[in-house]
Structure 1
């Protein structure tokens, strides 16, 4: 079996719970797989397991005190953070999760976490009621939104006597998750889109009426975010141009995020990067019209009616289709009926390579959902029909098609 852990530098953070005893086995297994494991223990963790045990298993110095600097030429928590390929917290208590969510840094582990730029993986372990507490759930959601990965705890008899979810996942399973993480990184480096520059647009544009009112749409940005993640996983250099969205963009340092507001700003952001890109996917819902004039201050209420004059915005896809040279251009057609006819017309009229049609009125599809129902068309007609699947799956299948067609065109 391919070992993706060998040669990696892993910071293993151990916090104070009874599950800390499993950290010895985890340290041993990661070290046996060839990782350089640097253990950081909290003061509470040292009540359950000794640093001598972990030092013997990792063959590395164990850290616990921010101020116990042994080398005057370096700062330990900065050096560790800079060297890490992955930061793994196992077990992770509710306390360390809260510290991470709120940016607290009052010990060696939390300080190192703030300095780390490497990916972070967290394996929670706590009482079942603690794990289900709204504050803990909120903190985990906050961290997940920043790109922190979680290894869900198992279910069973807990040390407190309760039976339920909260038991630290077994060390062998955690090692498998770490291996899979590095395998995904390796596949990105040699993936089907390695070396390609991909631009993804996401969200709904905002067209200002005045400083407090605007015209927009229901686009959440979820489809565009899924496309950015999938493109990166396939090895692409990804730029995500996002307008208004319901949630934060992927917190992946390898995905460049450019924030815009209006249709004009999105057009300028895309056009300025168009010549250098290989694939552009316009998943954003761009306003077709904007107010002819945007008032500099709030418009006061007067009269029974109000007339708002609108003018057309620049059609980004049509403009790019006319300028297209080597680029592979993908559009979306969000419709509320007759999606096939509208999509095929748009494909030809705007000189697209592929178009994704979906009926946003269908249950489970369209704006704000985590799922979608789509039909993908090319010049030859229907290429792929996808029933109700996750937006991540739609993204993977769509980019797989794009990669195959680009590779075929290069032969």
Structure 2
């Protein structure tokens, strides 16, 4: 903390050597005390640290977070109990010689049990009895990806856990984070996992020190394009008393479901501890374990256009649905939006690209037809992407391209003409 130190502070206004604020109305030509960014930031961080280091997240909608921390019964009672327990422990140790002798006997007993254990390991004793933080090691190509080395979800005892998004539906997206705070361990950890049939994925690791300050941001993997499956391996280092937050996002396309799983591994996992104090924390809110996780689609992020495309900056532009052979659009569509009375329903979508030079008699010829999958949202909306291969079609004679979308509840037979769908055919004509 610091006192205000701008050029027109009022000296000694709060006592000898304690400058402060004043309107300076009694001083000719003198402005009131100026605020400075340094002083405002100091006050802000003093208050925010008090809130955040008590385990709270800053809430813009609340005006009583400080009150909740320092004035509620829970906080006061917890502090009082902690102080009382500490005093009782000190009294027990210092008051009598027998208490000290009991402590020595306890440690010797632990040593004896450790020495005769069927699988003795010095880390068990160091961490559980003496509270020593144990350094972990991991390296790509050396650390074995097996259950015995897995530590994500490790609570200091024997559990381990694999983060698993479950299956993400067609056109769905899932993002979130997992917090990993290893119990009395620090050093190198290996994040290893697998992403299947996704059109976009992004995984990062944020590392924080014991004071909760972020020390590094590690890019694990990022991809955007056609369908891909990918194995990821990345080593990150956690300082003593620190933690890591693994952030993820994975998108499914419109014809395959996506899934992502990952765990954290070390060379020699400490298998058994008696948890005393800090234990691992894993926020599994967005994950299911070994079960399907159908993510509800929400198309509110897309514009309300029937046909549109996107640029490299993530902006969307409308294409006219009123197009024909004589008045085509000049941009290949990337998306088609529709709306149905079927809510949160899986659909089959026939997407066909063809070429045409004359309208009557038509010389339309099919170039490609694909069946995609998507799901309507809670209001019946659906947005489907034109496959990347269809966006790259070129013709030698600059024929007009025709894109057709037809929606179905059951898988259609598209070996011939497209069958009648839920709301007919949606066509757009394109000439580049």
Question: Normalising to structure 2: TM-score of the pair?
Answer: 0.22
Structure of greater Rg: 2
Structure with larger RCO (C-alpha < 8 A, sep 6+): 2
Q: In proportion to residue count, which structure has more strand?
A: 2
Question: Normalising to structure 1: TM-score of the pair?
Answer: 0.23
